[in-house]
Structure 1
């Protein structure tokens, strides 16, 4: 493990942290932070304080050695993301949170930023984070990154959303659960006058943020699948398990008489309490005998009196996390009635550990946890009658409780899951930090020439014109390259392994060429010169590389033909124009899996591709790319040649006056391992 991996400062940004009630997300945050602390990492949390104190006042307390900075956000309870603030109110809020973030960053200087359920905080902290080039990883406890309403439920209809698009999200933001599209359209002029363009601007900011996220971890496949293709980094599914500390060994005798349902969500609208209470009322009116036990915030006995069900419903108030096993011991069946596409549903896992089956809506990550009619029931999302039907089954057939209980799974311990989580986010990000630190601390090293190479270029290539190979005659504006050594490029030996393929490519009449990871423009400019029919889209995240590419294109007379860009992802490739025939050249340093996503492949079915594969950075890249393109493309593999073999076997007249050791230095391309290129051509061509 590298030195930087041994001890890290991790800044967590979250909505809530215990003892403030924050559902399963807050408990998982606490579990993860405590585990990381045990591993020797330092953790600090910026979260929200619901106490009625001065707006934006920060109160500090500690969970052991974990420092908590709790900030009071005045609009949080009525509008979690602040989408109903006016533009001036939003700017004022941003300014205050930016000030708080800057103070923490200056004072503590973290290595990594990790967000959990961060609305009303992360967007506002982002400028300060990006300024320091800190890696950002996230937990998918909500769909905050792709859903302005957080929960993947469409307004105004309340139906589950399949994922973001600009028009869908704008429609959602400028309506407010009106019930129908017609009603929301009638109110649209009023909302536009009240809200202006602020929601649209914030939607744009949210979309822009995605490109800076280095990785996401989702507790369910539902959450990972719906986020694939929307961020730079990897989106990984890790079942998080639960903390099984003090789990009782004895199995309780269930069911009781009358049967007991349990609900852990208090009287919160989003948890579906009104569906549950109205269902209890209907069941009582039909003469059924049972009990409902309720735990959680905002309980109100008057709501029971209004429904005439106070004799069936027992209110328990809040409970501490360490008392959870006693809570589940009090129930026979757990009820969930969430009104959102639930990312996971931690309570289902806790109940299963106590051998308590669950009735829950068939939505989000819940559906992955319950085997319907085997260890629980999945009812139709937002359908009260469906909920009532399955509650009735347990009441009328109480033996189902034991049958389902015996079929429940063995629940994973959160400590095991936390290690997998740590490996996938924190330690991987640590290696990113090490690389980033090199770029920040020693930026000149990236383009500084070895003196041997510098002298050879002055002696052999004083005009900086490429001498050999497929781009013979191309001019370099200066003796600089980006991300690779320059001598082989001007000599013409660079990546000689694929030059036969490139010569074949140059004979094709492409209308568009995309170069992802263009560096200083060796391929972008060279291909533009060789294929004048093509518009070349050249992308690189290195600003120095883009500037060099621009100079090189202009020097070689193809400045109008080469269009430059910084970041390129699957969405970028989907949206680039294609007129007839396209070529994609890719050298994206290990980003191949994230770039060529499964949903992108159909858009590339007619394209030729030349991809440099970086298995030394992620050994699954080559197998993943093969699997994803198997149905659309033929794949030809070309293997790289070791630098020693190049020195021994490459023969160029420009090298005749150099000894073998010097030739090795001049010809070296400095690959970390033997690598492959994949040349992909359509199966139907």
Structure 2
């Protein structure tokens, strides 16, 4: 069996959650005797070449260099040039199954190409891009989106994309037109009609549904993601839940020395990861009773506040780190804090914490509330509430044994377990595909 893994970016240039999972899954499948290759997007440019091949630890990788194609962009969802190159590489690689992990920066047309080739396909939903143009179900103000998906996506998309109904000459006037329309009442027929046309011009959910219809199985990494997909109105005949796993070998030699006061840790760079909430909560804790270790790029909006806090409290900013150093990062603190403000799909860092025998304090929303069981392997607090977070953190100050008790109950999902479930799914699809071709031949 040969499986082609398709993803928007890949190692070594990009090593975020979906890229790491794709790599671990492919390597685990290789160990099980499955032939795997990767087709990915790439932002670097190599002497004008659009396609290059290399290997990542023995994993054959085909890279599509976006900058060599003038027709690609981070916001365009369809690209004929990408489709043409992908179809050519698909014919060369000759996989039995195609496993999509992300389409962003590539082209949604790839799904139809795989279907026309008579190959079964899978899509793993690593984020909410198929139902939200901002990937994380947050609006332009950074708050959780409470509007009906699809119908109101124009509110976020408009500043980024020009309506297909407008001549490019009038592109700069799009923002002004949107502002004018927002001030006029909907009961005016022309205004209501204009708004409908503009929403339809950026038909996010409709395009997503077209692509999903071409894919055999959708895989959600958590039950929460499967429910969210259903709530948007997107429909698919076969949605499975297969939890992600991690490579636990990186954490086998972790050694954590006893410390006289609890050390809280934060890992992340984006503002929606909730560092501001954690800073506000830490300021409410008794001075000198605990430490805070921050890993990742600190948002500029928080830099001065954190610098001031560092001069008064035991706050340490370590900056970014190489993914290979993750075990050493977890050795430096006793409790991981995940104050995310968005609906996470499947938190890689929580699984890594459990593998490191570190309990987690997390926001009570999305997949975080599914992975962290309050009072068993961690604690949950009200999203965006620094007072509630401070109360949960103080529990570790008041009870020095709490961290070790919670950590002892943590269960880790290994990549080998996820790979076995995906392998069973690949075999099921191949068997069904073979039966279908036999029926057609008859």
Same fold? TM cut 0.5? yes
1:10-29 equivalences under 5 Å are 10-29=3-22
1:219 aligned partner? 221
- Looking at structure 2, the residues matched to 98 and 105 of structure 1 have their Cα atoms a distance apart, in angstroms, of 10
Q: Which structure carries more relative contact order (alpha carbon 8 Å, separation 6+)? A: 2
- The 3-state SS of whatever aligns with 2:434 is helix
2:84 aligned partner? 99
- The 3 A distance-change label for structure 1 pair 259 and 304 is farther
2:172 aligned partner? none
Contact 2:256 2:331 in 1 (8 A): yes
1:654-665 equivalences under 5 Å are none
For residue 366 of structure 1, report the CA deviation from its aligned partner. 1.1
2:186 aligned partner? none
Larger radius of gyration: 1
2:249 is aligned with 1:245: yes
1:130-145 equivalences under 5 Å are 130-145=115-130
- Looking at structure 2, the residues matched to 317 and 172 of structure 1 have their Cα atoms a distance apart, in angstroms, of 30
1:71 aligned partner? 64
Contact 1:57 1:72 in 2 (8 A): yes
1:332 aligned partner? 334
For residue 367 of structure 1, report the CA deviation from its aligned partner. 0.7
- Looking at structure 2, the residues matched to 381 and 422 of structure 1 have their Cα atoms a distance apart, in angstroms, of 37
For residue 253 of structure 1, report the CA deviation from its aligned partner. 4.8
Residues 335-383 of structure 1 deviation map (CA, whole Å, 9 limit, x = unaligned): 1122321012122122112221111111111111212234322122233
- The 3 A distance-change label for structure 1 pair 46 and 294 is farther
- The 3 A distance-change label for structure 1 pair 270 and 156 is closer
For residue 34 of structure 1, report the CA deviation from its aligned partner. 0.9
1:110 aligned partner? 95
2:396 is aligned with 1:394: yes
Match of 2:136 among 131, 148, 151: 151
Match of 1:204 among 198, 203, 206: 206
- The 3-state SS of whatever aligns with 1:32 is helix
For residue 107 of structure 1, report the CA deviation from its aligned partner. 2.1
For residue 99 of structure 1, report the CA deviation from its aligned partner. 2.8
Q: How many residues align structurally?
A: 407
Gaps of 5+ in 1: 1-6, 83-89, 177-182, 447-685
2:18 is aligned with 1:33: no
- The 3 A distance-change label for structure 1 pair 149 and 303 is closer
2:371 is aligned with 1:365: no
Residues 469-495 of structure 1 deviation map (CA, whole Å, 9 limit, x = unaligned): xxxxxxxxxxxxxxxxxxxxxxxxxxx
- Looking at structure 2, the residues matched to 144 and 124 of structure 1 have their Cα atoms a distance apart, in angstroms, of 16
Residues 314-353 of structure 1 deviation map (CA, whole Å, 9 limit, x = unaligned): 31422234x4322212111111122321012122122112
For residue 199 of structure 1, report the CA deviation from its aligned partner. 5.4
Match of 1:120 among 105, 108, 120: 105
For residue 287 of structure 1, report the CA deviation from its aligned partner. 3.1
- Looking at structure 2, the residues matched to 374 and 188 of structure 1 have their Cα atoms a distance apart, in angstroms, of 53
Match of 2:405 among 388, 403, 406: 403
Q: CA RMSD in A?
A: 3.7
Match of 1:187 among 170, 179, 183: 179
- Looking at structure 2, the residues matched to 150 and 12 of structure 1 have their Cα atoms a distance apart, in angstroms, of 21
- The 3 A distance-change label for structure 1 pair 222 and 170 is same
2:431 aligned partner? 431
- Looking at structure 2, the residues matched to 40 and 147 of structure 1 have their Cα atoms a distance apart, in angstroms, of 37
- The 3 A distance-change label for structure 1 pair 303 and 152 is closer
- Looking at structure 2, the residues matched to 187 and 215 of structure 1 have their Cα atoms a distance apart, in angstroms, of 41
- Looking at structure 1, the residues matched to 256 and 153 of structure 2 have their Cα atoms a distance apart, in angstroms, of 47
- Looking at structure 2, the residues matched to 387 and 111 of structure 1 have their Cα atoms a distance apart, in angstroms, of 49
Gaps of 5+ in 2: 161-174, 184-193
Residues 533-566 of structure 1 deviation map (CA, whole Å, 9 limit, x = unaligned): xxxxxxxxxxxxxxxxxxxxxxxxxxxxxxxxxx
Match of 1:167 among 143, 151, 159: 151
2:417 aligned partner? 416
- Looking at structure 1, the residues matched to 43 and 280 of structure 2 have their Cα atoms a distance apart, in angstroms, of 29
- The 3-state SS of whatever aligns with 1:245 is helix
1:446-595 equivalences under 5 Å are 446=442
Contact 2:247 2:415 in 1 (8 A): yes
Residues 170-228 of structure 1 deviation map (CA, whole Å, 9 limit, x = unaligned): 5554489xxxxxx99973749999x9668523432212112122112222111233335
Task: Give the alignment's TM-score, normalised by structure 2.
Answer: 0.78
- The 3-state SS of whatever aligns with 1:411 is coil
1:320 aligned partner? 323
Residues 628-668 of structure 1 deviation map (CA, whole Å, 9 limit, x = unaligned): xxxxxxxxxxxxxxxxxxxxxxxxxxxxxxxxxxxxxxxxx
For residue 387 of structure 1, report the CA deviation from its aligned partner. 2.9
- Looking at structure 1, the residues matched to 33 and 74 of structure 2 have their Cα atoms a distance apart, in angstroms, of 34
Contact 1:370 1:377 in 2 (8 A): yes
Contact 1:336 1:360 in 2 (8 A): yes
